[in-house]
């Protein structure tokens, strides 16, 4: 893969500030892979607008438009392979990827989560729900986690984490904002390390 450009697809459901951090990371030379495809399950996701502004190809893809997870996977895989996508980065994507895609891209799909996994992850743990749960549990620390993606929510190998202190007067919103700042630093760097083979990974 020495001279071949690395192509990254980003999947999102919302605002896409992490997509922006990856785009900016590429422009700054922190990330060597280029984001060439942005996919959302929400037609109105602001992240799609960010992609269009950067002249990155976009697509709307919804598993529920297909008769099965397999049928969705076949179609999505074809789209990804046609575009020579090497890595997938989930950035606020509130769906599971079809199993076929997870298998085909094993160890090449990452996600960013706004807490210190394995705590405060899993189905339903997204957005402010995560930060509310952290505050309710009386944690003194939270943070951001980049992990590999497998067939379950927030479950794959943890690659990188950054800690954030929880302040006494934090609300879910203030904590979310401080964690998000760390996410933007962490994500391009962790993805670059993965691309450069810096993590020890199991096969298959
Ligand atoms: C981030 O907090 C990320 O950790 C989580 O979803 C949020 C997405 O934010 N998976 P944005 O759309 O990237 O701004």
CATH code (residue 191):
3.40.50.170
Task: Tell me how many domains the chain contains.
Answer: 1
Q: Tens digits of per-residue pLDDT, 13-59? A: 999 999 999 999 999 999 999 999 999 999 999 999 999 999 999 99
Is residue 200 one of the residues assigned to a domain? Answer: no
Quick one: which of 126, 113, 99, 79 has its CA closest to 186? 113
193 to 51, 59, 73, 118: CA distances (angstroms)? 23, 27, 27, 21
Q: Does residue 1 sit within a domain?
A: no
Confidence band, pLDDT 50/70/90 cuts, at residue 1: very low
Tens of pLDDT, residue by residue over 87-142, are 999 999 999 999 999 999 999 999 999 999 999 999 999 999 999 999 999 999 99
Is 204 part of a structural domain of the chain?
A: no
Q: Is the pTM of this model over 0.85?
A: yes
Whether the pLDDT of residue 160 is over 70: the answer is yes
Catalytic residue among 7, 113, 147, 184: 113
For residue 2, being part of any structural domain is answered with: no
Please report whether residue 47 resides in a domain: yes
Does residue 67 form part of some domain? yes
Atom of ligand 1 nearest to the CA of 112: 4
Q: What is the pLDDT of residue 4?
A: 79
Residue 52 lies in a domain: yes
Classify residue 201: in a domain, yes or no: no
Ligand 1 centre to CA of 65 (Å) is 24
Residue 114 belongs to domain spanning: 7-195
Report the separation in Å between the CA atom of 2 and the middle of ligand 1, taken as the mean of its atom positions.
31
Is 113 among the catalytic positions?
yes
């Amino acid at each position: 893969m020495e001279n071949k450009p690395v192509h990254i697809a980003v999947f999102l459901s919302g605002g896409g500030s992490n997509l922006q951090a990856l785009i900016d990371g590429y422009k700054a030379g922190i990330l060597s892979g280029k984001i060439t495809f942005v996919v959302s399950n929400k037609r109105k996701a602001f992240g799609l607008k960010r992609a269009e502004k950067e002249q990155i190809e976009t697509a709307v893809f919804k598993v529920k438009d297909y008769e099965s997870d397999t049928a969705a996977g076949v179609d999505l895989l074809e789209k990804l392979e046609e575009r020579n996508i090497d890595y997938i980065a989930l950035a606020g994507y509130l769906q599971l990827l079809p199993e076929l895609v997870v298998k085909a891209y094993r160890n090449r799909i990452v996600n960013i989560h706004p807490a210190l996994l394995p705590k405060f992850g899993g189905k339903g743990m997204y957005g402010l729900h995560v930060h509310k749960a952290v505050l309710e549990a009386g944690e003194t620390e939270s943070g951001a986690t980049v992990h590999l993606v497998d067939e379950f929510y927030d479950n794959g190998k943890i690659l990188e984490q950054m800690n954030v202190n929880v302040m006494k007067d934090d609300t879910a919103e203030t904590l979310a904002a401080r964690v998000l700042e760390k996410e933007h630093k962490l994500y391009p760097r962790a993805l670059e390390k993965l691309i450069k083979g810096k993590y020890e990974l199991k096969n298959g």
